[in-house]
Structure formats: C-alpha cells, structure tokens
Amino acid sequence: MGDFRNPHFFKEKQGFLFYGKGRKMFGRFMLIPLASIFFHISFSFGGTIQLPQTGQTKCYDSLGAEITCAGTGQDGEIKSGVAWPNPRFTAGTGGETDCLTDNLTGLTWVRSPDSTTRTWQGALDYAKNLTLCGHSDWRLPNVNEFESLAHAGQVSLAQWLNDPVQGFSNIQFSDYWSSTSYAYSTPHAWLLDVLSNEVGSSDKQNPKYTLPVRGTTQGLARVWKTGQGRCFNGTGGEITCMGTGQDGETQSGADWPNPRFINIYNGTVTDRLTGLMWLQNGNCIQTRYPNFDTDVTAGDGKVSWQHALDFVKGINTGIYPECGVGYTNWRLPNVHELRSLADYDQEAIDEWLIAQGFMNVQRYGYWTSTTDPEWTTGAYEIMMYIGGPGSYQKSTDWFVWPVRDVVIYNLFLPLIQRNL
C-alpha cells in the first residue's frame, strides 16, 4: 500500500505535483474606574506554553530568491517565538551517552536509532519495550513532540540532526512514525519526514523508521498535548487505550487550559494555551475587503503568498482597518503558530474551531509566513480541517488568518464574562 497523503499535502514544483512530505460593552463592569482596572490587572499574558522559533532566519521572494528581510513580514524577519538554546542538544554522560536531551523542550531522544523499518504497531511495540541509558519508559513520540525537532532553516532535517554539532547519528533520510493516529482517516498515522522537514501521514501498515523519546517536556518551550484522547488499531478501529503506547494513552505534553479559547468580544479570540490573539473571522478578506482579492477566483479571500503578506501589512498601516479591530501589530503566522490551533482528536478541526468561538474558518489551506527551505519558491500552509502542513508554490491561492501577541487583562476575566 502506498503512503496516504491528502491531495492537499501535494507539493507543487515546476508545474507538477509531488507528495509533500461585534464589539460589546462591559455592562456593569464599566462602572469600575478604568484607572483602577489597569492598575490591578494589566500585564502581559504569555500563555501556558511558549512556542519556539521555527529556525528560519532568511527571507525569499515569490521566485525563491533570497532577499533582505527588513519590512517583509516573513518568518525570517519576525522570528516569532522562543530563541533556541546553544547548544540545542546535550549528550548524556556515563551510562547515558546513547541519549540526547533537547535543551529547548527538555525531551530526551535516542541518539543513534536503529535502521529497521516497522509498521506503526511495530514501532509502538519497539519503543515501549526499549531499555536504554538505564531507562525503560521510552515511547513513540506524538506528532507535536516530533515536529519540535523540525528546522525551517535547513534544507534537510536529517542532515542537520546528523551533524556532530547536534549529536545524532544514523538518522535516516526518510519517514519516522509518530504515535498519533490521523483522525480524518484512522487507518493512517502522522509521521515526520526528516528528509524534507514536513509532517505527513501514511497507512499504518507501511514500513517506517522509529525514533523513541522519553521524559516530561520542560524548559524554554514546552511541547503541548495534541488533544488526541482515543486509540485505534492498525486498521483504524477504535480500541481501549490501556497498554497501547499510543498518543491517546500517553497524552504527553503540557495540559491545555480550560477553556482553551477566550472570545474577547472585540472581533478577536485569544488562545490561552499559546498566549496568541487571532482574528475571530477566519476569512476577513472575503467578508470585509473582497476587492483586495483579484487572484484566480476574485473575492473568495484566497490570495497568493505575497498578497497575504501585503494584506497583513495593510491592516497594520490602516488600509484595511476593519480586519485590524483596533490593533496595528498583526502578522502572518509562522508554521508553528498556525499549526498550534489544531486538535488532533478532531476529524474536522475547522468545525471544532468554529465551536470554540471562531467564525468563517475555512476548511482548506491558510498561508504561513514560513518559506519551505527545501524549495524556496514554495511556502508552508496549513489545511485547517486536518491541521497538517504542506508546501505550495507561492503563486497558489490560500486563505489569510492574522495573529498577534497579546496583552490580556485577565485577572477579572470571569467578572468581565459574567457582565457581558
């Protein structure tokens, strides 16, 4: 059986398709003097976790040529997120020399994994039965843990990991299984293609490589839970999680706050997990400024990558104020930021996001500000119904969903909510 890739994971290169790896007043609360409010509750809200930088430090035009970053709004200019420590990885000592700790996430990885391919079930069994470096609590990493290794500044993730500076060895230039089932099609599971830096999926019966992980995420950029709480067998049937070693059983990562999202009632929704503020409207171009979109199908809100960057810049300069809702520090999200919205237990993440308080969330691709380092005429987008990234030619039309860092006044948030 061949690898399963949703058609929207396809990578377009040189014309061919390749598999890619309402405002509201605060009612009675407004009777409290504003000065008192700001004195008591104004502070920066950083979220439960802090997302790391993607690793991208360069900028590229739509034809793939490297350009000066200043004023582009690209990931390589903004570098949003926690800076990576140097060194990124530290090798164990004594009886733990065969293990590497990621100083960014606190996770510990097998330093030199074997070169045996296994089915998904075989990989789960191998990882949970492994004893190495004096530890027997190894597991197959979930999709978020695996994606934390990605480096958007490197053409080949495998080559970067195998560099003696990083400390890994024997990382194969191919796919590695995660423990996370693909909720949209449960006979498949998520994987990381370490050749091309991309998350994808494959039939669970296909042979892939195994890179076990252990430990609790901690430190600079904690990895968050994927949201998956169910388990499935190799043919996609739902099963009891106990003893499976699947993501639905281990649920590794930082807990989500409850509620995860807060509707600020000013046209924005704040994610309390990441501390990021998003436009509530997932397609503001179409509903507010359809004349901006002259690409392919005019007025549908889908625009080229450069036009996506231009639109967000226009929000900040006051050209498109109705999509700024009073703020002028929006940006096109990088690939980590946009993917962080996903709940991998959902078969239709776009519908789940609408249920969380967003509106007009589109099913298909949204642009990120992150260029594909392997193919700089392309950039990453996220298919919102599955939460999976793909790489597309920058001339392709996709949707635009601005994000910004937030200062939230949340000490009295329950009071605010009760008085809306």
Q: Strand order of the sheet with strand 188-193?
A: 175-181, 188-193, 198-203
Residue 252's region, left for phi above 0, alpha for psi from -120 to 50, else beta, is: beta
Percent of the chain topping pLDDT 70: 86
Mean pLDDT of 232-239: 98
Amino acid identity of 237?
G
pLDDT of 411 reads: 40
Reported as a single tens digit per residue, the pLDDT across 33-92 is: 333 333 233 333 457 899 999 999 999 999 999 999 999 999 999 999 999 999 999 999
Output the pLDDT for position 209: 98
- The arithmetic mean of pLDDT across residues 304-327, rounded, is 98
* Cα separation, 82 vs 42, whole angstroms: 23
Res 15 pLDDT > 90:
no
Nearest partner of 383 among 401, 371, 365, judged by Cα: 365
Which residues, 6+ apart, have CB-to-CB distance to 167 below 8 Å?
A: 89, 90, 91, 100, 111
pLDDT tens digits, one per residue of 383-416? 999 999 999 999 999 999 999 998 654 444 444 4
Q: Which H or E run contains 313?
A: helix 305-316
Q: Which among 166, 189, 171, 168 is positioned nearest to 3, based on CA atoms?
A: 189
Per DSSP, 298 falls in state T
Complete domains list, the chain, with CATH:
7-83+257-418 (no CATH), 89-250 (3.10.100.10)
Instruction: State residue 61's pLDDT score.
Output: 98
Nearest C-alpha neighbor of 370 from the set 385, 362, 361, 382: 382
Residue 361 banded pLDDT, cuts 50, 70, 90 = very high
In the beta sheet, which residues pair with residue 19? 10
Peptide bond into 33 cis (omega under 30): no
Listed in sequence order, the DSSP H helices in 83-147 are: 120-128, 143-147
Q: What is the mean pLDDT of residues 310-329?
A: 98
Residue 235 pLDDT greater than 80, yes or no: yes
For residue range 186-224, what is the model confidence (pLDDT) as tens digits? 999 999 999 888 899 999 999 999 999 999 999 899 999
d(CA 272, CA 270): 6
